[in-house]
């Protein structure tokens, strides 16, 4: 009656076409928004992942990874002599047990 969709064949895009389209969209977004804004949005998304609420295992894994990264940064920024003293104390405690 109305002829909607008649004569039009849906053409599925190839992987290469989808990649090219995504890259073009990214270039256009950088031009419109600016790279600094995109970096800001990306960092905010990394801080708060809405998918964590949907998948508790993912939230737990991300929390553990953040805690490990914080501990690693703490140890890397710690005075090396003080760190050695702490490690020696731990080793001595283990020997006494």
Radius of gyration of the chain from Cα atoms? 26
Q: Cα–Cα–Cα angle for 48, 73, 47, nearest 5°?
A: 5
Cβ atoms of 52 and 59 closer than 8 Å: yes
| Sequence ranges of the domains in the chain | 14-48, 53-97
pLDDT digits (tens, 9 = 90+) for 36-85: 988 888 887 777 766 666 677 777 888 888 899 999 999 889 889 998 99
30 closest CA partner among 38, 20, 22, 42: 38
Question: Which pLDDT value is given to residue 62?
Answer: 80
Question: Which pLDDT value is given to residue 11?
Answer: 76
pLDDT digits (tens, 9 = 90+) for 67-76: 999 999 998 8
Residue that wins the pLDDT comparison between 2 and 55: 55
CA 75 to chain centre: 23
């Amino acid at each position: 009656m109305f002829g909607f969709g008649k004569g039009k064949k849906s053409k599925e895009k190839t992987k290469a076409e989808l990649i090219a389209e995504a890259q073009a969209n990214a270039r256009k977004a950088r031009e419109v928004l600016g790279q600094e804004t995109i970096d800001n949005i990306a960092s905010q998304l990394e801080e708060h992942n809405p998918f964590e609420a949907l998948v508790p295992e993912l939230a737990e894994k991300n929390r553990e990874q953040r805690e490990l990264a914080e501990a690693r940064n703490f140890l890397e920024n710690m005075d090396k002599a003080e760190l050695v003293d702490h490690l020696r104390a731990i080793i001595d405690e283990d020997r006494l047990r």
